[in-house]
Amino acid sequence: MVGGFRDIIDDIGGGLLFLGRMLSTLFRAPPRSHVVFDQIWRVTTNSLSTTALAGFFVGAIMTVQFTLQVKEFGALGYLGGLATSGTIREVGPLLIAFMLSGKVGAFTSAELGTMRVTEQIDAICCLGANPFQEIILPRFIAIILSSFFLLAVGLFMSIAGGLLLGIVFSGITAEEYLRHIPTIVTAPSIAGGLFKCLSFALVLASVCTYKGFTAAGGAKGVGRAVVSTAVATMVGLVIADFITTLVSDAVLAIALQG
């Protein structure tokens, strides 16, 4: 147990040092823009369909669950607002981020881990280039920007999924479903959801690049890095969700008092 706790502390410390080195490289020698755009395009195109589908069904599930609750009180007219608010503020960003962690995080970790164990990163260093500038930062920036965009798309798709299930399952019209969304889903709610999206993107990018870059031990090492990325990302996302919820609620309370 002590050894496991020590490994976790070492992992956190190593990750922070890795992040500090990456930020230092970003300010001293930023990556070439076309390389970053290539990575953004690749991440976005590979994950867009998965994220949209996940978002659609997240919204559909939320509508089904809320229908069972509000129907007892004869409040189906508020179904759209309640389901959309719950999806945007809490459930949607987290579940969609879990999907992205398996799609984007695992792939990036495996890619960087393979480059590490096959000594491609060492070859870059031998050529006098900075591996952080050439391969790490482009992927880190691309994952943050793409994941933020993909999470936002997933949230919009969740509204479409909720609307469809509201019509098919709950038996209300599209007008009834959409009527109370503007009154319940306020600007602070949307800002809080987007804040969570950005936070989750930072966690995903940091964990997968660090785990892939520090992989060792051949093919088994790459497999361990991918598994470790999945576990660490899940835990990190849950912790980030807790922290961002506290921050969002505190900011909202201050805004309401003001």
As a whole number, mean pLDDT of residues 96-114 equals: 86
pLDDT at residue 74 in the model: 74
Checking if the pLDDT of 4 tops 70, the result is no
As a whole number, mean pLDDT of residues 135-139 equals: 91
As a whole number, mean pLDDT of residues 72-79 equals: 76
- Band of pLDDT at residue 127, cut at 50, 70 and 90: confident
Assess contact for 206 and 237: CB atoms under 8 A.
no
As a whole number, mean pLDDT of residues 121-146 equals: 88
CA-wise closest residue to 51 among 186, 151, 192 = 151
Name the residue type at position 52: A
Assess contact for 15 and 207: CB atoms under 8 A.
yes
pLDDT digits (tens, 9 = 90+) for 149-165: 888 888 888 888 888 88
Cα(136)–Cα(131) distance, rounded to whole angstroms?
6
pLDDT at residue 106 in the model: 87
- Band of pLDDT at residue 258, cut at 50, 70 and 90: low
pLDDT at residue 38 in the model: 92
pLDDT at residue 255 in the model: 66
As a whole number, mean pLDDT of residues 223-233 equals: 89
CA distances from 134 to 28, 35, 240 (A): 13, 8, 29
Checking if the pLDDT of 2 tops 60, the result is no
pLDDT digits (tens, 9 = 90+) for 8-52: 788 888 888 888 888 888 888 888 888 899 989 988 888 888 888
pLDDT digits (tens, 9 = 90+) for 164-211: 888 888 788 888 888 878 888 878 778 888 888 888 889 999 999 999
pLDDT at residue 194 in the model: 83
Mean pLDDT, rounded, of the chain: 84
Cα(8)–Cα(113) distance, rounded to whole angstroms?
20
pLDDT at residue 37 in the model: 92
Checking if the pLDDT of 3 tops 60, the result is no
Per-position b or e across 168-183, b if 16+ CB within 10 A of its CB: eebebeeebbbbbbee
Q: How far is the first Cα of the chain from the last one, in angstroms, to the nearest whole number?
A: 48
Assess contact for 79 and 67: CB atoms under 8 A.
yes
Tokens of 184: 């319940």
CA angle 33, 36, 37 (to 5 degrees): 85
CA distances from 173 to 14, 143, 162, 177 (A): 54, 38, 12, 6
